[in-house]
A and B are shown apart, each in its own frame.
Chain A
Amino acid sequence: MPSVPLIHPAEAELEADAGAVSGNVRTPRFMVPVDGRPACDGLIRAACRMAEARGAPWIGVHLDGPRPLLSSRVEERRLADNLRLAEELGADLIRLHFSSRSVARELLALAKTHQVTHLVVGRGEPNWRARLSGSLLEDLAQGDFELVIHVVPTKSSAAPSPLAPEPPEALDLSNLGIAIGFVALATGVGFLVFHYLGLADVIMLYMLCITAAATQFGRWPTLIASVLSILALDFFFIEPRYTFVLTDIQHIGTFTMMIGVGWVILGLAERIRAQTRLAQNQERHTRTLYRLGKELAEGGSVAAIQQRVVLFLRQELDLPVALLLCDAQGRLPVPVGTGLRLEAEELEIARTVMERGVPVGHGTELFTQSPCLMLPMPGTERPLGVLGLWFTTGGAMPASRLDLLVPLASQIALALERASLAEDRTEARIQAKHEQLRSNLLSSISHDLRTPLGTITGATTTLLNPGPQSAPGDPKVLLGTILQESRRLLRMVNNLLDITKLESGLVQAKKEWAAIEEVVGSALSHLEEQLGSRPVSVELPEIWVAMDPVLMEQALINLLDNAIKFSPPGSAIEVRGWVEGEQFRLSVADEGPGLPPGEEELIFEKLFRGTGRPVTPGAGLGLAICKGIAQAHGGSITGRTRPQGGAQIIIALPMTGVSPELNPDFNS
């Protein structure tokens, strides 16, 4: 093809850069068509070398077109291999369906849209198909933009794929039987109509059955139906009948026609079948990826995604599936979501996948015979792990599966990485919130401790150095202040110690059978001074409740203290106990403004002081302590605003065991 302006490899190597030829400074970009021909891998490597020599990106293009007639599954497998090779070597892959346009036109259009400067094509061995379809190179040279075309003499460098011997198309005996049945039927019908119609009609009958076989059953049945038809025609209908002797030379033409028509129809049917298969495959891939995408879009934690993905893949692929995620050190832990235990070989496969970042195992070049196929799950910074599939049912994996599985694994990896990043963020937020809380606690404590200390120090210095005009009653006032502030300080310190002990888990409720009125009475006597003349109504059942009386008294003191603080002076406080189901409930209610709506839960959080409420002394620990105490008893605490107004805090304790008066050991 000397008339075409081409650059041969030797020249191409000399040529420094595409810009020198085209005269402008477009960045070089290479493109190579990828197909299933045996020589293609050499072409891909050549393109890779050229692109790398110039530090240029390169694109591998596969044009998914009408398959050549009778294209084999070997070829399909090789195509998949070649595509993978291109990807591994660093090509961006483009797969396009091409319609009726010529390969050259498609390639040129693609090259233009992707701003390709160099196209690498193979010269290939002369083959009748290429000649029939006209020269690809000539067509390529028709491009209306500048494009350097490298023609590489191709010959396959790769050893034949280890899996290359594809099992031949299985000879389906039932199909064959039906095809033979067609011929028999045609023969029978032929006998019936032979007298009334002519030989031509009988021939048409046989044609019909060959056509039927070709469209329905593939190669072998068509071939056999054709041969049988010709034999039957010759034997039964062509003079001299009932012999295979052929006297009329014109019938040889007929037979040739019959076989020819059969082949043409078979070819068409095969092509349609192949395209249908392709379309079905792609449709299935798309659907699977789409459904996986939907599944992954639900988000959630890394663990949840793992579970969902494993479940989804198991349903979708009908295979045992495992996700192996790396730990923080990049080591592979045990598989998630399966009862599978990894064999030594499978661990080796996983390690190889991690090292090379390519699928390894069943049906690939390494560990081909293993039932296990592992796919990489690449992350943005480091591999996230491995997706493992077990082809336990045997049988070669269709090459198309790998096309599906690789992007599947990538998609899963992406979702997992996203989830893990989100988890990291959440953790960081929680951490920040803890920090915030700690600093709140610190500032609150330092305020609450310093204020009374300041008052005490101040009042004391005044007492030691009274001013010249101090009134005789001053010392008593100041002393009262000191006493009050000391008590406040004591309460603060006690609360701090209590919450620290409760939070550190040092406190264990030492449950004993307690007379509830003793606990309530003790708490009330503690607060005698603060309660003053407030009416306190107490209503308790005469029962025994298993509790730690000292802790429960502490809780009650805090509840009563709150009730005193948050209700008007002189208003009534109500302490009530009752049994509800399996629980003993103890409530303290006041006649104050009640709980801030929507914050009934929050009030039990440490440092919560209520929004929009006047700041009251105390670091907001009292109710948190009560909650801790209730929980230490295996109970709970709730708060509400009573319908008639006022806050009510209820501690619920589980009632377990036999109360002492029912104990048969006990007798007076």
Chain B
Amino acid sequence: MPEQQPLVLIVEDDSQLRQYLTTTLRSHGFKVAEATTWEEGRSLALQLAPDVVLLDLGLPDGDGLSLARELRGASRVPIIVVSARGREEDKILALDMGADDYITKPFGSGELLARIRVALRHSVDPAAPPPSVVEVGGLRMDFLMREVTLNQKPVRLTKNEFDLLAVLIRHAGQVLTNGQLLQEVWGETSKAHATYVRIYMRSLRKKLEADPTRPRLLLTELGIGYRLKPELDSQSE
């Protein structure tokens, strides 16, 4: 946790939800700024340079998606999109446009705080070189040696499996769309298809999960993409 109180900008038009978010976040040691419209959101984001933006997609005076693109163009501030259920396309669009994560209404405070922490962690120092070894849960990944161990036992992965897992583990806790994963592993020009991601996820789960229907590490965000379950407390950063 950063020693300073991180600033969260809430862009949300519903006053009750805003009040709930403000109260919850303040009580958990965050500073909070509030914006109720698209315009206000943009100007506050540029003025205050918040550490995280919570962005509602349904704003009265403009599309939340365009605000996400606007903000991403101006800074690297993590954006968490707040969206209603059943709008998977919107979520994917927002994520592909630069949002870092999404949360579906209604949500509990635990879920919200977890998302914010993940977002903050990934934004700590974007310029710093990626660590050569990452551990999540019982999974240890050595990028230099290209070695993976699960509970101290070595796991043999193919190149694509390794690359896929590497992307997920670097963004541990963050959702990654199929498109993002494809781009990271197969590259921009690849003719690869979203199905590839699912095929490799299946084989990864077979190697890393005891019960693929009850995954502990490789979580499915159905219709959107995947997320590696963060284990924040045991995280070694």
Residues of A within 8 A of B (CB): 486, 490, 494, 497, 512-515, 517-522, 524-525, 538, 540, 542, 544, 549-550, 553, 575, 660-661, 665-666, 668
Contact = CB atoms under 8 A, between A and B. Distances in A.
Given A494-B85, A522-B220, A550-B223, A514 B213 contact: no
A550 B213 CA distance: 16
B106 interface: yes
Nearest to B88: A550
B202 interface: yes
Which among A494, A517, A540 has the highest number of chain B CB atoms within 10 Å? A517
A494 B86 CA distance: 9
B106 A512 contact: no
27 contacts: A490-B106, A514-B198, A515-B198, A515-B201, A517-B202, A518-B201, A519-B222, A520-B213, A521-B215, A522-B220, A522-B222, A524-B213, A524-B214, A525-B219, A538-B211, A538-B214, A542-B202, A544-B195, A549-B222, A549-B223, A553-B222, A660-B193, A660-B198, A660-B199, A665-B191, A666-B196, A666-B199
Interface string B164-199: 000000000000000000000000000101111011
Which 8 A-B residue pairs are closest in the complex by CB-CB distance? A550-B223, A521-B213, A518-B220, A522-B222, A660-B195, A538-B213, A517-B212, A517-B213
A505 B148 CA distance: 48
Contacts of A540: 213
B23 interface: no
Contacts of B223: 549-550
B4 interface: no
B43 interface: no
Contacts of B86: 497
Nearest to B191: A665
Contacts of B212: 517, 521
Nearest to B222: A522
Interface of B: 85-86, 88, 106, 158, 160, 191, 193-196, 198-199, 201-202, 205, 211-215, 219-220, 222-223
B64 to A, nearest CB: 20
Nearest to A550: B223
Contact of B202 (A515, A665, A666): A515
Identify whether the interface residues of A are mostly helix, strand, loop, or mixed.
Answer: helix
Contacts of A490: 106
Given A520-B213, A521-B215, A524-B213, A513 B220 contact: no
A518 B85 CA distance: 19
Contacts of B198: 513-515, 518, 660
A565 to B, nearest CB: 21
Contacts of A538: 211, 213-214
A668 B214 CA distance: 26
Given A517-B212, A661-B199, 8 more contacts: A512-B194, A515-B201, A515-B202, A517-B205, A521-B213, A522-B220, A540-B213, A668-B158
Nearest to B205: A517
Q: Which of the listed residues B196, B198, B201, B215 has the most CB atoms from chain A within 10 Å of its own CB?
A: B198
A517 B211 CA distance: 10
A150 to B, nearest CB: 88
B103 to A, nearest CB: 15
A555 to B, nearest CB: 12
Contacts of A549: 222-223
Given A515-B202, A522-B222, A550-B223, A668 B213 contact: no
B193 to A, nearest CB: 8
A20 B158 CA distance: 120
A538 B106 CA distance: 29
Nearest to A659: B195
Nearest to A494: B85
Contacts of A522: 220, 222
B195 A521 contact: no
A512 B158 contact: no
Contacts of A575: 213
A661 B202 CA distance: 12
A542 B212 CA distance: 11
Nearest to A498: B86
